Structure 1
Amino acid sequence: MTVLPTTILDELRTAVQGRTWFPSEPEFDEVHRPWNRAIDQSVLAVVEAADIADVVTLVNWARGRGLSIATQPTGHGATGRADDTILLRTTRLNRIDIDPAQRTATIGAGVKSGELQSAAEHGLTGLPGSSPVVTVAGVALGGGLSWFGRSFGWVGDSIRAFDVVDADGRARRVSATEDPDLFWALRGGGSELVIVTGLEVGLQAAPDVFGGRVLWSGDHARQVAEVFRTMTRAAPEALTLWLELLHFPGSGPMVAIDSTYLGDKEEARELMRPLDALPTPLSDSRAAMSVAELGSITAEPTDPGVGSSRAELLTSLDDGALDALLGSPIDPLLSVQVRHLGGALAQPTDNPHGALDEPYSVYMFGLPVTEEAAESIEQKQAVLARVLPASGRKPVTFLNPYEGLADALPGESLARLRRLKDERDPGRVFRGNFSIAD
C-alpha cells in the first residue's frame, strides 16, 4: 500500500472545506470501508466534500499530483479497485428539490433512492429498486433496474441532466443537448469519466400503488414457482413480480412472491388471483402503500455487512430452469431472486446497455462469513449459472467484483466508452468500480 507523506496530506486537508480522514487517524478504519465488508480497499485518504466547490478543488489537487479519485457516496458496488486512490464521499451533496408541475426532481449525488421517494406526497415517484439506501446517482450510472422498470424502463433513462466535474476540474451540466456523448455514457456506462455531483430526475405519476410479499414454506416452492411463471407470461407492464427462494439462518427453506402494481388494490388483487389457489401462506403483507414504503417489501439490510453475489440474465424460465432452481436446496446461499423483466426494459433505448431482451434475471446471494463459506457460496453460484439458461451478460449494477463491464455491455458500447475515457480523462484521474479500459 502506498502511503502519502504527511506534508501532502496536510495540503489536502487545507485545500478542502469538507472533512478528511487519513490512515493514521482512529476513524479512518471505519470511514474508508465499502458497504460490502467482504471487499477490502486500501485508499490513501478519504474526503467528504462539503459542496461542489470541494469536488472541483479535489480534482485539481489530485490531477496536479498524479493521483486518482474513486467516488463512493455510500460504498455500494465497491470492487476493490479503489486501492491507492483518494476516496471521495458525496453524502453531503443531499439537496432534494421537487417540481410537481414539471414532474422533476433536482437532487444531489448523495441522495438515496428512499429519500427521493419523498415525491410520494405529490403523487409522484422516482424509479426505486429493492433497497432504499443506495444512491440514485450510483444506480443511474449503472443503468439501473427498478420496481417500475417494466413500465418506464431503465433508471438511467429517467435522468434528464447530470451536474458533473470533469477531469479538467470544470463544473458543468451534461444533457441530451449539452454533451450528448457523455450523456449517453453516464446513463449506464459506469463512473470513470467524470464525478457526478447532481442530477435532474424525471418523475412518474403514482397515485395508487399496491405491493408486498406473500411467503410460503419451501415445501410449496414448485407450485409457487409455476404460478409465478404463469402470471408473468400475462402480466401487464404495471405489474412486477419477483420470485424469492429463501433460506435464512435458523429457519427452514421458504419461497415468496414479491410484487408491486401501479394501480388500485382491486385491480392488483384480480391480476394476482392465481395466488389464491396456492396453499395457505405463512404471511401476506400486500396492501395499498405509498411509494415511500417500497423498501419494506424485500426488507433488505440498511446497514453494511458481508455479502457474495452473482447475477445472470435468463433467456427463459422453462421447466429445465425451474428444475435447476428447485432441484436441490439453495443452501449455502441465503437467497435466490428471479425478477420478471420485459415491458419497457425491452424497448430500444440510447444508453450503453441497450434494450434488455432477456425476460428474467436471477440474483444469487450468500454470506461469506468464513473463507470456507465464501468458497462454498461461489461454487453454488457457479453451478446454478452453468445449468440455467443464462444469456452470458448482466446489468452493470448486478456485476460482482470478479466481473467487468465486458460482462454487461455490448462490445460496441464498450469501445465507445473507451474512446471517451481516452478523450475526457487521459490522465486517469477517475477510477470507477469497474474499469472502462479493461
Structure 2
Amino acid sequence: MTTAVETFEALRRRLTGALAVPGEPLYAELATGFNVAIAATPAAVVEARDARDVAEAVRFAAATGRAVAVQATGHGLAGPLDGAILLHTRRLDECVVHPDGWARVGAGVRWQQVLDAAAPHGLAPLCGSATGVGVVGYTTGGGLGPVARTFGWASDRVRAIEIVTGDGVARRVTAVDEPELFWGVRGGKGALGVVTALEFDLVPLPSLYAGALYFAGADASVVMHRWREWSSALPPEATTSLALLQLPPMPGVPEPLAGTFTVAVRFAWTGTPESGEAVLAPLRAAAAPLIDAVRTIPYAAIGMVHADPPGPMPALEETDLLSSLPAEAVDALLAVAGPDARSPQVIVELRQLGGALAAEPAHPSALCHRDAAFVLTIIGVPAPPVAEAIVPHAAALRSALAPWATGGALPNHGAAAGQERIARSYDPATLARLTSLAERYDPANVLRAGQVPLRSAA
C-alpha cells in the first residue's frame, strides 16, 4: 500500500521549499487557518519558496488529479480542502516600496509590513481594516478598506500581477500583457491561478483623522438612526461603518466594552483634522460615548480604526449587500440584533459604500456590485452557550433586511464556497467570462478547491 509520503515523494524532490503530510509538525502548523472553526485536512502542504515551487505543485496536481488551494494567513479559508494540495505562500515575503509611489510584494506579505515600509515615504497602501491580512487574497477579492470611499477598491490600484495559472505556467500580467487575465484576477480571487507577487500604486497619505466612537447599548437606536441620516450626506473624504458589538471579556478588550452590548461608529477622514472634527460632530453629539478614540493618527496605525482581533479565532460569517438603508431597515435590524434581541452574534456590521467605490476603474475588472450602498457582515463565535443559535439567527437577520438586499455579495466578505455563493459574487456575464477564462487557463480544473471554484470536481 502506497503511503502519503511515497505519493508525494516525486513532488518533494522537485521543490526548493518544504512539503509536509499529515502527522508531520509542519503540516499541523501550515494547515491551520485564521478561522479555527474550519478544520482543513489537505493531503499535503507545500511551503513554496518561489514561483517555481508553485508551478511544480500545480503541475503535479494536474498530473495526479488533485486540487490545489492557496493560503498565506488563512483568512479566506472556506472549506476543509479534503484531498487537495495546499500551497502556503508565507515564504514569498518580498516587500519593496518605491518612493515614487508604488510597491511590489510577494504573496506571503501581510498589510502591516507594507504599511511600515511605506510610512517613511509618506505613502499609504489601500489595506483592509485588519492589517494582519495577506495582501494578495485581500486585493484579488476587491479590497474594501478604511479609506475606500476616498480612494476606491485596492484591486483598481494593481499595475502588475505575477501568477502561476492553473495550467502550471508562470506569467506576468498587466493591462497590456495578458489583458484578459488582468481583468479576471482583479476580483476573481484565486479562480484563475496562484498569484506569487503583486505590484500596485500607493497614495500619498502620511496621517489621517480616524478612529472609533463607542456607545452604550442603551443608545443603539439613537446612534444608528443618527448614523444613517449623517452618513447619507457624507463627502468622499469620509469612510464609515457601524458595528453592534458583544465582545467577550478577554485580553485586549477595554473594560467598558467587555461582556456587554455596545455600538461602534468607525470613521476615517482624509481631509484636514479640523474639517474632520466638524464632520464628525453630529455623531459625537448623538449620545455620550463610552470611548472616543477618534484623533489624528499615522496612516501606519490604521488598524486601530476597526480594532479587529489579531489572532486566530472560530467564526461563522454571513453577508449581504444592501441597496439602501432607510429608517425602516434600521428598525428591522435592531428588532433582530439590537440590545434587547438576545442576539448570539459577536459583530453585526454595516459598512457604507459609495464615493470612489462606485466609480468605474481605469481598467475594467471582474469585481462586481460597485453600485451597492452598504455591506452587511454578521459574525458569530460558535462557542457555548450560543453556538447552536448563530446560524438560524443570522438567517433571521438576513430575512429581516431582505427588502433592501441586492442578492449580491463581495468575494472577500463572509468567506464561503459553493455555486450559490459564486452566483452571488458575480453577475451572470462576469461569471460566464470568468468560467471561460478558467477553462482556458486551468484545463485540468486544479483550482476547484479555492474560495471561488468556478467549476465543480465533476
Same-fold call, TM cutoff 0.5 = yes
Residue 115 (structure 1) aligned to one of 91, 113, 118: 113
In structure 2, distance between residues paired with 1:309 and 1:29: 24
Segments of structure 1 that go 5 or more residues without pairing to the other structure are none
Output the CA distance in 2 between the equivalents of 1:59 and 1:246: 42
Q: For residue 4 of structure 1, report the CA deviation from its aligned partner.
A: 5.4
Q: Which residue of 1 aligns with 2:372?
A: 358
1:279 and 1:200 map into 2 onto residues whose CA distance is 44
On the 8 A contact 1:82/1:433 being kept in 2, the answer is no
- The farther-off stretch of 274-283 and 383-392 is 274-283
Cα-to-partner distance string for 1:245-287 (whole Å, 9 max, x where unaligned) = 1112352211111111112211110111112322221111111
Q: Is the 8 A contact 2:332 2:400 kept in 1?
A: yes
Q: Residue 353 of structure 2 is aligned with which of 329, 334, 341?
A: 341
Instruction: Tell whether 2:421 aligns with 1:404.
Output: yes
Alignment of 1:252-331 (within 5 A): 252-327=260-335, 328=338, 329=341, 331=343
1:177 counterpart residue number = 176
8 Å contact 2:160–2:199 — kept in the other structure? yes
In structure 1, C-alpha distance between the alignment counterparts of 2:279 and 2:296, rounded to whole Å: 15
Residue 383 of structure 1: aligned partner: 396
Instruction: Please give the alpha-carbon distance, in whole angstroms, between the structure 2 residues aligned to 1:222 and 1:386.
Output: 20
CA 1:338–1:231 in 2, change beyond 3 Å: closer, same or farther? same
**Distance change in 2, residues 1:76/1:164 (3 Å):** same
Q: Is the Cα contact below 8 Å between 2:108 and 2:134 reproduced in 1? A: yes
**SS state of the match for residue 310, structure 1?**
strand
Q: 1:382 corresponds to which letter in structure 2?
A: A
Separation of aligned partners in 1, 2:215 and 2:38: 33
Task: Output the TM-score relative to the length of structure 2.
Answer: 0.91
Matched, 1:34 2:33: yes
Q: Return the alpha-carbon distance in structure 2 between the equivalents of residues 430 and 355 of structure 1.
A: 24
Please, which moves more after superposition, 21-30 or 81-90? 21-30
Q: Structure 1 residue 337: deviation in Å?
A: 0.8
Q: CA deviation at 1:355?
A: 4.9
What are the Cα deviations for residues 173-206 of structure 1, in whole angstroms up to 9, with x where unaligned? 0011111111111010120211100000111111
Contact 2:35/2:74, CA 8 A, preserved across alignment? yes
Determine if contact 2:211/2:293 at 8 Å carries over to the other structure: yes
Evaluate the alpha carbon distance shift between residue 299 and residue 208 of structure 1 in structure 2; reply closer, same or farther with a 3 A threshold. Answer: closer
CA distance in 2, matches of 1:65, 1:355: 37
**Does the aligned pair in 1 maintain the 2:72–2:134 contact within 8 Å?**
yes
1:54 Cα deviation (Å)?
Answer: 1.7
CA 1:54–1:27: 2 relative to 1, 3 Å:
closer
Q: Which residue number corresponds to residue 430 of structure 2? A: 413
CA RMSD of the aligned region, Å? 1.9
SS in 2 for 1:272: helix
Cα drift, residue 145 of structure 1: 0.9
Q: Output the CA distance in 2 between the equivalents of 1:316 and 1:4.
A: 56
Structure 1 moving runs of 4+ over 4 Å = none
Give the C-alpha shift of residue 164 in structure 1. Answer: 1.0
Aligned counterparts of 1:258 and 1:191: Cα–Cα separation in 2: 30
Alpha-carbon distance in 2 for matches of 1:274, 1:66: 59
| Corresponding residue for residue 206 of structure 2 | 207
**Structure 2 residues without counterparts, runs of 5 or longer:** 250-258
Q: Alpha carbons of 1:312 and 1:3: their partners in 2 closer, same or farther (altered >3 Å)?
A: farther
1:45 corresponds to: 44
Cα drift, residue 129 of structure 1: 1.3
1:27 to partner: Cα distance: 4.2
Give the TM-score of the pair, scaled to structure 1. 0.95
Check 1:216–1:400 CA distance in 2 against 1; reply closer, same or farther (3 A cut): same
> Alpha-carbon deviation of 1:226?
1.7
Structure 2 counterpart of 1:115, which letter? Q
CA 1:117–1:359: 2 relative to 1, 3 Å: same
